[in-house]
Amino acid sequence: MTIVTLFLTVAALAAIITWFLSKKAAGGMAFADHFLQNFAGILFVISGFVKAVDPLGTAYKMEQYFTAFEDTCRGSMLKFMAPVFPVFSNHSIAFSVFMIVLEIVLGIMLIIGYRRQLSAWLFFIIMVFFTILTGFTFLTGYVPNDANFFEFSRWTAFNSNQMRVTDCGCFGDFIKLAPQTSFTKDLVLMIPAIWFLLRWRHLNQLFSPLLRRSLTAISTAGLLLFCFSNFVWNEPAIDFRPFKSGANIREQLEAERKAQAEVEILAYRVRNRLSGMELEVPYAAYLDSFKSNPQFKASWETLDQIKSTPSIPRTKISDFDLVSFEGESYAESLLADPNYSFLIVSPKLSYSAVSETMLVRDSIKIADTVTTDEGPLVVSRDTIVERQIKRNKYTWDPEYLNILKSKFIPLLDSLRSESVSVHAVFGGLTEEGVIDLSKQSGMSYPVYEADDLLLKTIMRSNPGLVLFKDGKIIHKWHHRQLPDRSEMRQKYLNEEANKIY
């Protein structure tokens, strides 16, 4: 679905509801008032719901925004605001749940006409907030990476590679919007936002005051529980991510790589080294300039390539890679394995590390020449050499260790007779940390490292478990939803059962 088809669908629903209510109403209705009321309400319910199924994904997106805002403020006259954003980032999940629930509940309030003036002001404030977010995201495309947002004299032609946040996250992973599209959407939605402020008294009200109040309260409580269930107790109820259960990662990865290889260079964006003027030079003309004009390279700086759109959109699957600490990739082996393979995924580990100086004793052999009656004799002797080294002393989160020791390891060790392989991947952990964690937890599986954004896309649970077979994700489990050995064997490690997944 695209944003255009979504808007048309919402508009059709709003028109039907408005027409139906106009037929049932005792008096005349202002169709425009009530249509915009239903349109905005339905859109907010849908927009909030597709984020409510994955509030952790919205939290990750907000962390990107907070980091970008912090960097922007720190290098400008707003530097006094910079310390605020790390605090927001540390509480991004709470901020995410609050915004999601508020968005859906406000949509319901608009549809039923509960607290009309309050609803109008809340809608206006939220739209101003969203417009600032999406506007900032889009406009950073004009700001070079080494410049601050407020250095307007250094702004250049738009370049998507310069954007601090690549997409707004307005509809989660349900619809990925280009920042310019998202910004335009919010500017359009400012029309009903202002309309409601001026005409809130004309908004339609459904049901009795008590029922409107009860619906708002019940929906708020229910949505809070629903949001929590999608990251505290389980993986998202509806998975819009590319790494969902049933997805064939190997086939999709091959298709995306082929599409990327077929992308053509259409033009180059260049900038004059003296005047700063930027131009788009067609590919053929660019090559001719290098051949026929020796001064071209000295006078013009190449900024970027302008490429054709790939036939298949690039997803995070293109970044799928698991690397050993020796630098060897395991991803292709995993995806090519025709047997069942379990992968423990931990996007982020909670621990503290303190550097300590330790005294290490090494035994070395030293060769000596000894003179005897029979002539020189070479002998060796052991000598103890002491040296100081620095090592990290790790203190792991007890709850995390307990999850590994009491849930993952007993289950996976019990399945070794099923000829399954087990591996683990951790985000942001060094080899030294992995060795210590393996020792503390009793884990004896091969461990790999990967990009933390990739791991966050694969798994919302920390840790979580993924079952692969022949390049396909058979199933994923939150650590609170791990099946026992019997269920795992009968329901998942079973060829006939897996045909339904």
- The Cα–Cα gap between 384 and 269 comes to 64
Q: Whose structure tokens read 């028109």?
A: 15
Give the pLDDT of residue 500. 44
Inside any domain, residue 50:
yes
Beta bridge partners of 425: 345, 448
Residue 360 has pLDDT above 90, yes or no: no
- The Cα–Cα gap between 286 and 282 comes to 6
282 CB-side CA count, 13 A: 3
Residue 27 has pLDDT above 60, yes or no: no
The number of beta carbons lying within 10 Å of the beta carbon of residue 75 is 15
- The Cα–Cα gap between 448 and 318 comes to 18
Most confidently modeled of 54-68, 102-116, 158-172, 357-371? 102-116
Asked if 108 and 215 touch (Cβ cutoff 8 Å), the reply is yes
Which of helix, strand or coil describes residue 483? Answer: coil
pLDDT in tens, 320-355: 999 998 889 999 999 999 999 999 999 888 888 887
Inside any domain, residue 36:
yes
Inside any domain, residue 200:
yes
pLDDT in tens, 71-88: 999 888 888 999 999 999
One domain for residues 345 and 376: no
Task: Tell me the average pLDDT across 151-166.
Answer: 83
pTM over 0.75: yes
- The Cα–Cα gap between 36 and 14 comes to 8
Residue 116 domain boundaries: 3-229
* Residue 359 banded pLDDT, cuts 50, 70, 90: low
Q: Where are the beta strands (DSSP E) in 141-277?
A: 265-272
Inside any domain, residue 240:
no
Inside any domain, residue 9:
yes
One domain for residues 101 and 16: yes
Provide the edge-to-edge strand list for the sheet that holds 472-478: 447-449, 421-426, 340-346, 464-469, 472-478
pLDDT in tens, 414-455: 887 777 999 999 988 888 889 999 999 999 899 999 988 899
45 CB-side CA count, 13 A: 18
One domain for residues 65 and 169: yes
What is the number of structural domains in the chain? 4
Residue 365 has pLDDT above 80, yes or no: no
Inside any domain, residue 243:
no
One domain for residues 384 and 464: no
Last residue of a domain, one of 229, 253, 285: 229
Provide the edge-to-edge strand list for the sheet that holds 300-307: 278-282, 265-272, 300-307
Asked if 464 and 347 touch (Cβ cutoff 8 Å), the reply is no
One domain for residues 190 and 335: no
Task: Tell me the average pLDDT across 246-264.
Answer: 94
One domain for residues 65 and 214: yes
Residue 489 has pLDDT above 70, yes or no: yes
Buried/exposed code over 465-487 (b: 16+ C-beta within 10 A; e: otherwise):
bbbbbebbbbbbbbbeebeeeee
Inside any domain, residue 239:
no
Helix 55-74, helix 92-112: angle, nearest 10: 110
Inside any domain, residue 256:
no
